[in-house]
Structure 1
Amino acid sequence: MDETPANTAVRLVVLDMAGTTVADGGLVEDAFAAAARALGEDPAPMLGHVRATMGESKIAVFRHLFGDEQRARRANTAFEEAYAELVAAGRIAPLPGAAETIGALRASGRTVVLATGFARTTQDAVLDALGWRGLADLTLCPADAGGRGRPHPDLVLTALLRTRAADDVRQVAVAGDTAYDMLSGARAGAGIVAGVLTGAHDRDRLTAHGATHVLDSVADLPALLAPSAEAGT
């Protein structure tokens, strides 16, 4: 039986972007393939690792795949350029109900932060393409959290420190579509770690990596965080 005290009701919500609030139609894989080819590499053998580490800081993925720092940075730059071109071509859209969900969460008095594993330039390109500047209270990328992205807890904890929206990590809810989103939320001590089924990973994988709840989409989050629902969580 859960004995979570009432004063841990969620005050801060940290939302992932691609796959959670943003539908990118496979842009991450396409941009990765372009980056690998720019370095003279065949992307096919690497795609399994890319899929497994969705949600992680992209530079960390490239460091793992390409070894030395110089090649990793070249690959990351090529990725950012390719992703920006795909975004500019219109291959990105908000997931149904995502903007409305953010609006509803903020209207309920909660603080909302959009976090990503992308670099700031890529995150800004997505925000501009969607017209989402100012939609959330704060946006964060790994560089804003000292350079470490997911699965480390840093993005979630940075959101808490920057906004000062909560007094207890249990007053934080995290939502994302990847195992690394779940690990990040769990390691930060978030009271709710919600997986969504609109992106990279399935229910079993999300649950295995720390999801306290699994939702069909982020549009279901306001109902989960409603006062009556939280009281019985």
Structure 2
Amino acid sequence: MTILVVGASGATGKHVVEQLLKDQQKVRVIVRSPDKLPEHWKKNEQLSIIQGSVSDFTVNEMAEYIQGCQAVASCLGHSVNLKGLYGKPRRLVTDTVELLSHAIKKNDAGKPVKFVLMNTSGNRDRDLDEPISKRERLAIALLRLVLPPHVDNEKAADYLRTQVGQNSNFMEWVAVRPDGLVNEEHVTEYEVYPSPIRSAIFDAGTVSRINVGHFMAKLMEDQELWNKWKGQMPVIYSKTS
């Protein structure tokens, strides 16, 4: 299996790549600065490195990079600093989802390519009747005003839901919604639900980035797991004892 990972050098993206390489998959990564990648990645014959910024690629260029891939993972996110939160590009995640979708469609692989998007538990799945309190509605409305990355995450998932949809013949998708990301060294037990089981705003749980990376990798590798979650926005939590 050949898989393209965008945002591979990020805090979660690197765990997706590590898991895929551990499982002997062929991986292509797009990064701006290959020098920052782990040395063992550069020496791994299963890994191909494409240097560049995703926002600079045309649809034709991206189609070439995706050619021959059975799955694509987007782990892009906004940096947690003033430039990342309020600078350009404001639609980093959404524009990337659109670019990748158009490139996948252009290739016309003959069967749907799997697409996994890292999203956030603070974003509701509007295909489901997910309960939300008035207090949460107000808080999310405020987030939309003061935190552009939140709007970006919402629009990215909405593009998959409304523009790609459930019956595309070129792409199937899953938008993974982690809750309260933390750093851990090893994969631990985790739980996955169709919708949040707690308030992402006022009672957030936690999940390690390595667990998210493990789940995203297994989604692409395991057809049974993929069939269970395709076209959905599962929420992932690390299991507590």
**Larger RCO of the pair (alpha carbons < 8 Å, separation 6+):** 1
TM-score range, shorter-chain basis? Answer: 0.3 to 0.5
TM-score, with length taken from structure 2: 0.43
Relative to total residues, which structure has the larger strand share, 1 or 2?
Answer: 2
Hey, which of these two has a bigger chunk of helix by percent?
Answer: 1
